[in-house]
Structure formats: structure tokens, C-alpha cells
Structure 1
């Protein structure tokens, strides 16, 4: 009997839910607008076979009685004369060639490695909602940033970190972590972290991924923003950065000074070392902000500064 009643009530519950969503205030619907800027690829040619190098000329050694260059060693060795000197020359030449080959394969120790190390860094900043201009800056950056080239990604990283430091007076919460992993694991963990952050948005209202811009129509945004009361308290900006090698351990964020040091370290990553970047911020919609309860629920790892 109860099963029959519950089945008959399902359509009524569905209608009631639809009415609740339709009549809900716009602020509830748009409470988690989010933005995203990113680019890069873990399939970059940087991680393929070692880069080719031009032909290297053989080392030339001084002649001691005949011939020139390296061939002079053979007559001396087989002729019985200067045996010890010839052996030393052979050892020296072999050592020189080994060092040359190693430097050709890798200048930083990672090129040509089948599964090179990649560092995944994550920095989160919670700001007071009064930092309104930051939302506008992030929106403008999303529309203008070059997210397809290493140079563009480096500039994006520097502009975001610089923008955050300009609003350091509004910092309220922070978090940072970094982990060095093989490339094969780093790729999946990077995109898992990105999806986890994006899942906190009710709607991704602006994104620029590899120069592919997607944006909710401005008319919709204006209609939504018109009814949003200014009751929020916080903004959150998340930086996900994957880069080759290790540029130092990020400090545990316990103060604004620690958070600043983390941002400075990210900003110093050379363009040629950057693998991929994701910059996510919420709320993206101007006037839309997070409550303290929402921030503590969705970002429990962040510490009060």
C-alpha cells in the first residue's frame, strides 16, 4: 500500500520541485557562478623523444709526430710507442664524449626520460567580497588571455598572482600544496583536481580553455544579476599549475606572508617549464558572492590567515 502511495506521489513531487526551482530567488540559483581560464597539454612534444641536436665535431688533439686529431692515437698505441700516454688520451677522450652525449640528451635532467617528473601545485585564496574589482579583472583576463602558448600561460600565471597580491589586504583564507609525480600520474591527478573545483560551481558562466571562449549570454547574466542581493562575504580563487622539475617546496600557509611566498614561487616558474595551468574563481558573476558557511563547507582545507 505504501509503495503504491509513494509511486502515485512521484509526479506530484516532481511538479513541486519544479515550482520550487522556478519560484526560487535568483540569488539562490546563481549563488555559485564560476569562471575558468586554462591551457597546456601533458601530451606536449616536450615529453616525447629527446630533442635532436646538430652534429658535433670530434675533439681535436695536438699532433705529436704525425697525423692529426684523434686518429693519431692508433699508430702510437699499436706501434708500441707512448703506450701510457696513449691510454690516458683514450680515457680522456672517452670521458669527454660521454659527458657530451649526456649534455645533448638533457640540459635539466628531465629531457628524454620516458616518464619525467612533474610537480603539481595548488594554491587557493579566499578574499573578502569587498574585493569587487578582482572579479572584473578576472573576467577581463579570461576574454583576453592567450592560453595556447607557453608564453601566454606564463603571462597568465604572472598576472593572476600579481592581481591577487594587489588585493592582499582582503585575504582571509589560504591553502597551498605541491607534489612531485611521474608524468603518467600527474596528468590524471591534475584533471581530477580541476573537475573537483569546477564541481563546486552551480554554473560555469565564463571559460577560456586553449583560446576557446565560452560565456553565458550577457542578457541572461544581467537578468540574473538584477535580483541578487549583496549579502555574500567571500570570493575564492584557485590556481592549479603543473610544471617540469621542482622549484622548491611550497610553505604551509599559516599567514599572509606564507601565502605571498607561495604566489611568488608560482610566478617565478619559467615559461618553458609550464605544462598546464587552470585558474578558477567563484563567484564569477559580478555581485554574486559566497557565504561564510559555503566557503567553509566547500573549502575545508583553507586556513584562516
Structure 2
């Protein structure tokens, strides 16, 4: 008897669910629409094979009579008059030069032995949904930005950071973290963080990856009826930036001032150091917003400002 009732009820439940989805506002069906802008590559020519710091053969210079070459060393031992002291001074100068070269290599993002070092920074900003114009600005950047060149990515990073700082009055939550890792681990962390953020979207409705733009027509996702009140309260913008070298740590975000400092530091990264960038924001669709419950559930790391 129960099985027979179950067989009868299943089609009715399916029809009821279909009606609910069909009659529900599009903003509820497509909850948490998301956008993504990004570019760059961890396999660019910038990261060629690491330079080895091992023993190398000494350069051989031509010797013509009293010119440069082996005869230059002979007077140190057979010429008398302070030859040993001169040799020690040359050894000391050579050691200093080697240390200086290694230090310069380290500052440029190499660990001197293995893979180049890459810093991965994440900054997240939770804003009140009344910051409607910010959605429009980031949507416009997604359609206009050059995401294929380091200069274009640097400009994108500056524009998004500036847009966010202009809406600092709407900031409610924030988070920042930074890690410096060898290239393979940095690449893994970067794309894991990207996938984690993208998994929070029900649909990616606007993307620009390496100048490849994909957009879901707004008309297909607009509200089913006019005058339906907003169902959410927040917007979230996430910046993922991978860059060579170490340009300083980001502060722990507990205040608006600290979050502003994080954005300013990211915006100041030189274009030639940028490896990859992704800007992810949700909701992407105008009129679609994020509920407080969803924000606290999906972004537990964010702190109230």
C-alpha cells in the first residue's frame, strides 16, 4: 500500500517542483550568479629553467705577452712584495661578488637552488548590496579589460582595487592572506583557490579569461516579474594575485583601514612581476544579491569590519 502511494506521489512531487522552479523569480533560481576576469600563466617564458649556482669553470682570457691571463698570477708567487696579500684581497672581493649575485637572484624571486618563488595573495571584500554601481563597474571592466598582457592585468588590478576603495563606505566584511611558495605549489594553490571561489557560484554568467569573453544574455536571466524585492544583502569580490618575488606581507584584516592597505599593496605590484590574476565577484547579475546566511556559510574566513 505504501509503495503504491509512493509511486503515485512521485510524479506529483516532480510536477510541483517544476512549477515552483518555473514560477519562482529568476534571481532565486539563479542564486549567486558569478563573474570572473583573469589571465596570466605559470608556464610563461619568465619561468625558464632555474639557474644553477654550482661550480663553474673559470673563464680563460687570452694572454699576449704581458697581457691578461695566467702570467697575471705568476707575480703573486714569484714576484715577491705582497703577492699573497693581493691574492687574499682578490679572493675576498670574489666572495663578496658571489654573495651579492645570490642576494640579487633571491630578491628577484629565485630560491637559488630549485624552482622560482611565487607569492599568492588573496583579498576578499564583502559589501552591502546597496553598492549597486560597483556591480556595473566590474561588469564593464570584464568586457573592456585586456587580460592577455602583463600591462593589461596590472591595469585591471588597479582599476578593481580603486573601484573597491571608492565604495569603502559599503564594506562590511574582509579577509586577506598571502603565501610565498615554489612555482609548482604556488600554481596549485592559485587554481585551488580559484576553483573554491567559483564553486560558490550557481552559474558563471560573465567571464573574461585571456581575452576570451563569455556572457549569458541578461534578458534570459532577468526577474520574471517587475517589482519583486531583493532577496539578498551582500556582494563579495575576491582578488587572487600571483606575482614573482616578495613585496611585503598583507596585514590581518580587522578594520577598514587594514583592508584598504591590502588593496593599495596589490594595486602597486609592478606589471613585470605579475604571474596571474583573477577577479571573482558574486552576484554578477544586476538585481541579484547574496543573503547574509549564504555569506556567513560560504565565506567563514571573512571578518566583520
TM-score range, shorter chain: 0.7 to 0.9
Contact 1:200–1:298 under 8 Å retained in 2: yes
* CA shift in 2, pair 1:280/1:100, >3 Å: closer
Contact 2:161–2:267 under 8 Å retained in 1: yes
* CA shift in 2, pair 1:166/1:113, >3 Å: farther
Deviations 1:94-151 (A, max 9, x none): 4477468658966625177532222221111111111111011001000011111111
Report the Cα offset of residue 225 of structure 1. 8.1
Report the Cα offset of residue 263 of structure 1. 0.8
Residues in 1 aligned to 2:294 and 2:168: alpha-carbon distance in whole angstroms: 22
Residues in 2 aligned to 1:210 and 1:167: alpha-carbon distance in whole angstroms: 27
SS at match of 1:46: coil
* CA shift in 2, pair 1:53/1:253, >3 Å: closer
* CA shift in 2, pair 1:71/1:95, >3 Å: farther
Contact 2:75–2:83 under 8 Å retained in 1: no
- TM-score normalised by L of structure 1: 0.83
Contact 1:180–1:246 under 8 Å retained in 2: yes
Give the length in aligned residue pairs: 305
* CA shift in 2, pair 1:239/1:214, >3 Å: same
* CA shift in 2, pair 1:225/1:102, >3 Å: farther
Which has the higher mean CA deviation after the structures are superposed, 131-140 or 268-277?
268-277
Report the Cα offset of residue 80 of structure 1. 6.5
- TM-score normalised by L of structure 2: 0.83
Residues in 2 aligned to 1:199 and 1:109: alpha-carbon distance in whole angstroms: 31
Contact 1:59–1:69 under 8 Å retained in 2: no
* CA shift in 2, pair 1:187/1:4, >3 Å: farther
* CA shift in 2, pair 1:25/1:113, >3 Å: same
Report the Cα offset of residue 153 of structure 1. 0.9
What is the RMSD computed on CA atoms of the aligned residues? 4.1
- Quote the residue 2:254 is aligned against: 254
Unaligned stretches of 5+ residues in structure 2: none
Report the Cα offset of residue 230 of structure 1. 3.2
